[in-house]
Amino acid sequence: MGSPPAEAVELKNKGNDAFKKQDWPTAVDFYTKAIETYDQEPSFYTNRAQANIKLEAYGYAVADADKAIALDPTNVKAYYRRASANTAILHHKDAVRDWKLVVKNAPHDSTAKLRLEQCNKIVKRDAFLKAIEVEDAPSAAEGLDLDNMIVDPSYDGAKLGNEMTLEFVEDMIERFKNGKKLARKYVFQIIITVMELVKKEPTMVEVDVEQGQEITVCGDTHGQYFDLMEIFRLAGKPSEKHMFLFNGDFVDRGSWSTEIALLLYAYKWLYPSKFFLNRGNHETDDMNRMYGFEGECRAKYNERVFKLFSESFSALPLATLIGKKYFVLHGGLFSDDNISLDDVRKLNRFKQRQPGQAGLMMEMLWTDPQTQPGRGPSKRGVGLQFGPDVTKRFCEKNNLEAIIRSHEVRMDGYEVEHDGKCITVFSAPHYCDSTGNKGAFIKIGPEYKLNFTQFDAVPHPDIKPMAYASNGLQGMI
C-alpha cells in the first residue's frame, strides 16, 4: 500500500481542523473528499468514523471501521471506533468482541479495559432481564398507597391534591431551576395519573387548531431543562388556547431528564386535551439504561420511579395528526408503501411495550430521511432511510401537506426537505454541550401555516451531559 497523495492528506487535515472546532458535518465532508481522492488509507476511514459517531451516524461509523480493518487488520483504532459505535446502538455482543481485540493489542489502554468490563456487565444484565421477563408483569404502581403516603417534612414546595394546578406547575418550574426535587409522593401521583390519561388516547392523536388557538410543535429536548425554559419564554407557556406537542426524546443524554419528564407530565395533567406527547426512541428501556435516564431516576428518586416512567412511556401515543394536514411522529416513514394512516390508527401499541428490531413501531421511532430516492440502510445501524419519492407517495396517498419529525440534530434547529414534504424539528440547542446547533420549534395556527422559531442554548449549572449514565458512555460518544 502506497502513501496517500499530498492533496488527500491536505483534505484529511482540513477535516481534522473542522473536527477540532466540533463541526462534525464539515469534518465528514472533508474526510469523504480525502477518501474519494485516495481510498487506501485506513486513517481517513477511522477519522470519518469518529466524526460519524459524533453525528450519531453509528451505522456509517461501523461501515467506515469495517473498511479500515479490511485495509489493515491490525488497526487498533478501527476496532476501537467499531466497538464504540456498536456500544452506542446497543449491539453489545459485537462491541465485546472488538473491545477484546483492542485490549489484546493495546494492553495498557485503561479506557478500553473499562469499556470491555462495562460491555460484559451489560451483556450479562440484558441476559438476566430477558430471563426474568414476565409478559403480564404487575404494574409498578401496585401496592403504592398514595392516599396514606406521607410527604417528607423537609419538602418546602406547593402541595398537590387530587387535581393538578397552575400554582403547582409554576412552583415546580422554580424548584427545578434551583436544583430542588419534588416530594416522591407527588412524583408517583403525576406519573400514575398521566399514564392513565395517555392510555385512553389513540395510537395516533388527531387534533384541530380552532380559531383563537395555536399549537407549538417541539422536537427532542433530551433533558436540557434550561433550554426548555427558553422555549416557554419565547413561545409562551401552555394554556387552554396555546396547545403544545412534544415529539419524543424528552429524556436521556441531558442531565435534567427527570425535571423535563415531570414538568411535561404535569402540563399533560393540567391540560389533558391541549397538551400532547409522542413517544420517541429514547422513551424505551434499553436506551434509558444506556443514556442516563434510569441512572438519573435512581439518583434523584428511586428505581420505582424509573419503572413507573417506563410503563408510562410504553403507553404514549406514537403520532399526532394536526388538522388532517401534518403527520407528526418522532422518526419517520415506513419500509412498505402500502402503510397508511389507517394502519397507524389500528396499531395496537400495547401489544409490545418496547419497539424491538422490526415492525411499524420501530420504524415510527427510528427511521430517517435521505436525499436519494427509494429506501436505504440506516446510517444509525437501526431502522432504515426513506427518500423524497417515498415521502411524496405517502403524503399523496393520505392527503397530507407534509410529515413533521424530529430524531436528528439539525444545525439550524430545523430543516425542510423532500420538496417541502418532510420537516425535521430539533429543540435541544448545543446538543450535549458539544454540537453548536440551534434549537427550533414550529407554531401552527388555524390557517395551518408553519412558522419556525430558532433559538440558542442558554447557560445551565455545571453538570455535564450523561452525568447519570452508569456505563462511561459519556467519555466515548
| Cross-sheet strand order for the sheet of 384-386 | 368-369, 384-386, 375-377
Asked if 165 and 283 touch (Cβ cutoff 8 Å), the reply is no
Instruction: Give the span between the Cα atoms of 18 and 16, in whole angstroms.
Output: 5
Q: What is the DSSP string of 49-64?
A: HHHHHHTT-HHHHHHH
Q: How many CB atoms lie within 10 A of CB 37?
A: 18
Instruction: Give the span between the Cα atoms of 136 and 353, in whole angstroms.
Output: 11
Q: Which of 91, 92, 222, 282 is catalytic?
A: 282
**471: which 3 cell numbers?**
456505563
Sequence-ordered strand ranges (E) for 166-305: 204-207, 214-218, 242-247, 275-278
**44: which 3 cell numbers?**
481517513
Q: What is the DSSP string of 106-117?
A: -TT-HHHHHHHH
**374: which 3 cell numbers?**
427509494
**267: which 3 cell numbers?**
402540563
Instruction: Give the span between the Cα atoms of 430 and 446, in whole angstroms.
Output: 32
For residue 384, the one-letter residue type is L
- CB within 8 A of 454, min separation 6: which ones? 412, 413, 414, 438, 439, 440
Instruction: Give the span between the Cα atoms of 470 and 175, in whole angstroms.
Output: 26
Nearest alpha-carbon partner for 290 in 22, 442, 431, 86: 86
- 282-310 burial, b at 16+ Cβ within 10 Å, e below that, comes to bbbbbbbbbbbbbbbbeebbeebbbbbbb
Instruction: Give the span between the Cα atoms of 474 and 381, in whole angstroms.
Output: 20
Nearest alpha-carbon partner for 262 in 212, 297, 215: 297
Based on the residue annotation, tell me whether 330 is a catalytic residue of this protein.
no
Nearest alpha-carbon partner for 112 in 126, 96, 123: 96
Instruction: Give the span between the Cα atoms of 27 and 21, in whole angstroms.
Output: 9
Give the residue numbers annotated as catalytic, written as ranges.
Answer: 282
